[in-house]
Amino acid sequence: MGELMLRTDDQQVTFNVFDKMKGDDGDPQCFKIQ
């Protein structure tokens, strides 16, 4: 849960979205992954 997976041809990248949002004191309605 909380994973964003991108697939193209034979490659796959998985991001843990919740990990990237930890520690952000910004607006809880708006999130940005850098």
What is the rounded CA–CA span in Å between residue 8 and residue 28?
31
The pLDDT, as a whole number, for residue 22 is 61
What global pTM score does this model have?
Answer: 0.43
Residue 2 is predicted with a pLDDT of 82
Sign of the Cα torsion 13, 4, 34, 7 reads: positive
Strands 11-16 and 3-8 come out as antiparallel
- The encoded tokens of residue 24 equal 């952000």
Give 3-31 pLDDT, tens digit per residue: 889 999 999 998 887 776 665 566 666 66
pLDDT, greater one: 21 or 2: 2
